[in-house]
Amino acid sequence: MERNAVITADGSVTLFSSETGEHYHSVHGAIQESLHVFIGAGLKQLIQPAQINILEVGFGTGLNCLLTLAEPSTRDTETYYCGIEPKPLTGEEVLLLNYGRLGAYGEFAPLFEQMHSFSRGSRLLRQGFTLERVDTGIEQAMLKSGFFNLVFFDAFSAEVQPALWEPAVFQKIRAAMQVGGILVTYAAKGSVRRALQQSGFVTNRLPGPPGKREMLQAVAC
């Protein structure tokens, strides 16, 4: 198999892709990293949004979507989550993921299954929370202009997929975002920061999760 399960330091599973030679999450803790980068520096920074419109570049395991579902703010606010993933997991690979079997997220196990029961189209996962899955790359995806107020940019690194971290991709994403919308990514490289700045974002370097000194938060201006 091209992808193998690996247990990370916080007990949550990630996948290792032999095609890229990279893990889907930090081996210091998959859930810990996602909570820090995408929920803490992203979702929790939205100020009383009327609606939460999230774009995820690289839906992969669906961990960020699961953690978003578990956040109390998304129970009270209409949430639309668009996950872009050209290489959806197989049913066998989904069974390797233990998120729904960990105590904190047990109640979300059935929703996690539903998230992976389709790879294209939209489903209402629960009242007020719609997941749309797109099975093309971000380069080909059709995005509504000025729509998203939060972007989880979680592609493989610029070392292995450099084209995804170029201004052309960030400009396309910027055009799909509201002014003041937030993009977060685990990456902190200078070249990524400059590409974001050239694409209409103001960038902030924030402390990274355990094992990583910094990460980037970018605000659409």
Ligand X SMILES: C[S@@+](CC[C@H](N)C(=O)[O-])C[C@H]1O[C@@H](n2cnc3c(N)ncnc32)[C@H](O)[C@@H]1O
CA dist 167 and 107 (Å) reads 40
Of the candidate residues 40, 49, 86, 128, the single one contacting ligand X (CB under 6 A): 86
Q: How many CB atoms lie within 10 A of CB 116?
A: 20
Burial class of residue 98 (count of CB atoms within 10 Å of its CB; 0-12, 13-18, 19+): middle
How far apart, in whole angstroms, are the C-alpha atoms of residue 191 and residue 180?
A: 22
Q: Choose the binding region for ligand X from 70-78, 133-141, 143-151, 212-220 (rule: CB under 6 A).
A: 133-141
CB of 55 to ligand X, least distance (A): 10
CA geometry: angle 117, 155, 76, nearest 5 deg: 55
Contact 10, 32 (CB under 8 A): yes
CB of 184 to ligand X, least distance (A): 12
Binding mask 162-201 for ligand X (x = CB under 6 A): --x-------------------------------------
Tell me how far, at minimum, the Cβ of 106 lies from ligand X, in Å. 19
Cα 30 to Cα 72: distance, rounded to the nearest angstrom: 20
Which has the closest alpha carbon to 172: 195, 203, 206?
Answer: 195
- 87 part of the interface to ligand X, by CB under 6 A: yes
Query: Which part of the chain contacts ligand X (CB under 6 A), choosing from 103-111, 116-124, 135-143, 176-184?
Result: 135-143
- β-bridge partners, 185: 153, 216
Nearer to ligand X by Cβ, of 154 and 196: the residue is 154
Binding to ligand X in span 53-72, by CB under 6 A: 57-61, 63-64
In the list 8, 24, 41, 125, the residue contacting ligand X (rule: CB under 6 A) is 24
Return the residue of 43, 69, 131, 155 that touches ligand X, per CB under 6 A.
155
Q: Closer CB to ligand X, residue 65 or residue 220?
A: 65
Q: How far apart are CA 130 and CA 126, in angstroms?
A: 7
Instruction: Give the residues lining the site for ligand X (CB under 6 A).
Output: 24-25, 57-61, 63-64, 84-87, 137-139, 154-156, 164
